[in-house]
A and B are shown apart, each in its own frame.
Chain A
Amino acid sequence: MSSHRQLHVKELSGNILKMKFMQRNREQQQKEEEEKEQKRALSEAHWVLDFNSISQENETKIESESSFMNFLEGGNIGRRSYQKFNNAIEKLAEEQMKEQKVKKIEENEQKDSVSDKEMVDRYKKDIGILPTNKNEKHSLSTEDKVENSNKKQKLNSKKSKDISKEFIKPE
């Protein structure tokens, strides 16, 4: 770089180079080059994980909990009273029991209903391979499959969300 600059300098006379606008210009160029170099060094310093290869091996998600609270069979009522010893507590226990029963029923219902993710998977199977690229998406939606385009766009938005979760290398 310095040799390049020296060549440049030789072409012009010293008087011209002393002029303010010439100096300013040169300083600016120098600054820009420095900035570029700095950015390049920074981006090289970042290391990137090959995220896809790891996550795809284990598809089922496993969550762990440290408490027994969600693993108690048949409910969880901490305070109880028998034979009207403490009426307030007896009423409270009844309420809590009702609440927990409703919760359990809801949980079972949820298990039977179809989740969003499952719906997407179903569509994937029926319609075929989904485009992963944004450019591809446009080309596809402009194609003759007008009926399917709506569904597909929905799917695409899901896909693009997934992509955004990955680690993006800063530029």
Chain B
Amino acid sequence: MSETTEFQPYAILPGETISLDKYKNDKDVIKIGPGLLHEKQQVTAIKAGTLKNHNNQKWWIDSSQRRYVPSLNEHVIGKIIAKTQDYFRVDIGSAHSALLSTLAFEGATKRNKPNLEIGALVYARVSLANKDMEPELECISATTGKANGFGELKDGFLIKCSLGLCRSLLNPNTPILTALGEHFAFETAVGMNGRVWINTPDISNTILLSNAIKNSEFLSAKEIKQMVKELVKQSEDDMEL
């Protein structure tokens, strides 16, 4: 939209109101995301963070927190904490544990159920999120009914980080994962609930990767490249010794 002034993201505190009049357009619907509240014809911030927008249509506050609040269709990593005939009880880091039906796996039938042990990790999609009900999970894609990467995460290592870092890791061009991918062979699963699962063929690499990812949260792209370079050099030196 050329007629409106270019918007610059800025820091915002809870309670501040945002005037969207400048960006109003009869043509489209304005979408406000997490951290913003629309009440009495006013849009108010309810979280501290950076106010961002996309095409003057989508507005949200980019904030980082550690408490996960489930929301529909978000991808999460959960840990099985109990199992019954019909469902698994899964810890996804939210206030309440989630339910995962044994039939919500690709190719699962009443006779052929997946056999997951207590403590196993699953990559799943939130299929029901309501503040008054327990969240529910599914390990199949919403559109195709196929696994599409969902299911049990075998082996590997789970690290916990802030929700903000997880969101940046979901970006396909995230600097930390691309930089690490140039030097190591590994596999990751990123959940929006502040959990990252890493799998490498070598334990020492797993430790290195998990430390690198945890440290990358407040580094710029340039600093991340530098850090990865140093880490690679260090691990090569250790190998020689």
Interface set of A (CB-CB < 8 Å, partner B): 57-86, 89, 92-93, 97, 111, 115, 117-118, 121
Question: Interface residues of B toward A: which range?
Answer: 35 or more
Contact B60 A71 (CB under 8 A): yes
- A60→B188 CA distance, assembly (Å): 42
Contact A82 B33 (CB under 8 A): no
Q: Which residue of A lies closest to B192 (CB)?
A: A68
- Select which of A66, A71, A81, A85 is within 8 A of B58 by beta carbon: A71
Chain A residues lying within 8 Å of B31, measured Cβ to Cβ, are: 62-65, 70
Contact A82 B186 (CB under 8 A): yes
Interface set of B (CB-CB < 8 Å, partner A): 20, 24-34, 36-38, 41, 43, 52, 54-55, 57-58, 60, 69, 71-75, 123, 129, 148-149, 167, 170-173, 177, 180-181, 184-192, 199-201
| A112–chain B nearest beta-carbon distance, Å | 11
- A171→B25 CA distance, assembly (Å): 39
Contact B30 A79 (CB under 8 A): no
Chain A residues lying within 8 Å of B69, measured Cβ to Cβ, are: 66
Contact B32 A79 (CB under 8 A): no
Contact A82 B171 (CB under 8 A): no
- Select which of A59, A65, A69, A111 is within 8 A of B26 by beta carbon: A59
- A58→B54 CA distance, assembly (Å): 22
- Select which of A78, A85, A117 is within 8 A of B170 by beta carbon: A78
Contact A77 B170 (CB under 8 A): yes
> 7 new A-B pairs (CB below 8 Å) besides A63-B31, A65-B34, A69-B74?
A67-B71, A73-B54, A79-B123, A79-B149, A79-B188, A82-B177, A82-B186
